[in-house]
Structure 1
């Protein structure tokens, strides 16, 4: 790849990098405490081979290589490599981050809809209502308008970052980092499902998390699955879920189980929560004390809903259910990257998370 526009100062422009454009970011102004400075950045990208466990794929890595501060708008001094650019000072309060209130939820939902997050939540209450009730939903405001939000769910001592979204026109502004800094504990174990956008993966790595394995979103027909005896509905799954998911969350499970169309299925050593969504069902969370118990519970729950026709599931890469479902006609609709701050907080081979709750 060769550079197509812009020059990396101090180096030849012909190299492995491809010019990708400019972005704006906010940074504290050291000489004026409480003020921030808006800086134009030039970005290059390079195609890199990325490996996650046994998996590998090509992805564009957008790297910030140079920045320039030019208070007078006509040239300026350089940080890293010199480039031409401009900068302007903004007063504090360009963006405000605070805990969301009930009156903010309409604006937060508008942001969520821009990213398609409410496609599986046609009715209220939805998962944003639960995040608000838990008191762990933060909103980022430009003036009085929400332009981003983030939220976490707790499973015992494990923090699951469920949401971090900033509208495209406000990205690369530092708002996402500000939300993340408020949401995530510094020392406690934390996990998330990162999109395949390299910028998201890099942001979470800087917060102490590392890529572990892919999380594959599957959709497919129920008719091709092996037969299983349908399970009876049961509500006592909290201990099984804690063992597979990394921590107890009794209140969240009870809230979800009480929603219309949700059924809870239990085998001896496994469980699966299923939600009916018109012409399809959504499975998760689900798990078991062994990989076989997890598979048996999921397949039995799906057998109980065979009349729905199709199902959607989120399956982590090491789970033995993955090849079985693909052989039965399921396809990969999307993919995230499961990231963790360390250790093995969840059972990768015997747990199926809920896409929104983890």
Structure 2
């Protein structure tokens, strides 16, 4: 781990000032990726950033500790939505009565992620800033466009089992690792940030970005901005929502494919509103509003769910070298897996089954997941 400066802030303004001081000391360098990997960073839970520093993937010259900032509140808004402090831990957020009442989809997604120990430390704001768990990205000895722009993407022609099927480019096929963010995407959250220039609001679907030709840039957050809180609008999805996570083992594993699904039914049992967000399949939580629109006015059925899944996955593309041995496959399997997962998650949401870990899940007939 490289040496770095450390500062602790007590207020948001002080944190922004301390970050500016670190930026002023950042000297120009010709090394690829330095602008992203060496700039000053805010330190909250540190569950991802510290690992990246230990692996020599990120080398910030200054850390500004924001754990003392008064950004831990979780409150209801006047219109029936939610206000989530950026420094509230994932564990506290998942167990909060208002989250359980107004956004149970968020609760189940958080509880599907990481381990209890990590959820006790990880923060809401930090969760949004997680970087990919691509093994090429974490290995500083191999090329990676996300870590060193222009060096190449071995995953595109190599071992791609964990990688993206949507929105990827030849420069990067990595996926975003968060479970919480998939639910936030489905629930139309807003990210509130502050910088020396003032405050601004970022719609959640615009916060994370696809890799394109700049895979080293994960999101639309400016280098001098601090996430202060998240807001969720009021919704009627509480009775019919589900977070389905498919992974290689039952605990502490990142999703191969995950689905946040939610429905609102009218008095005739037809679909009045629908949400489908995918995790484990793209550089960001993936939503296609046109696929959701196909369900509006439809009677819930396997056929209508399958039509939405087919539409959502129409641009899906598999990656991985054709010369790979069978023991090291690419990720073509993710396309049918995602299709079945979408249908399954919508079926579970319709039945009011919130996740794939409880007894109700196993009592559902026709389990295809």
Instruction: Tell me if both proteins adopt one fold, taking TM over 0.5 as the criterion.
Output: no
Q: TM-score, normalised by structure 1?
A: 0.26
Larger Rg: 1
Greater strand proportion: 1
Q: TM-score, normalised by structure 2?
A: 0.26
- Greater relative contact order, per chain length (Cα 8 Å cut-off, separation 6+): 2
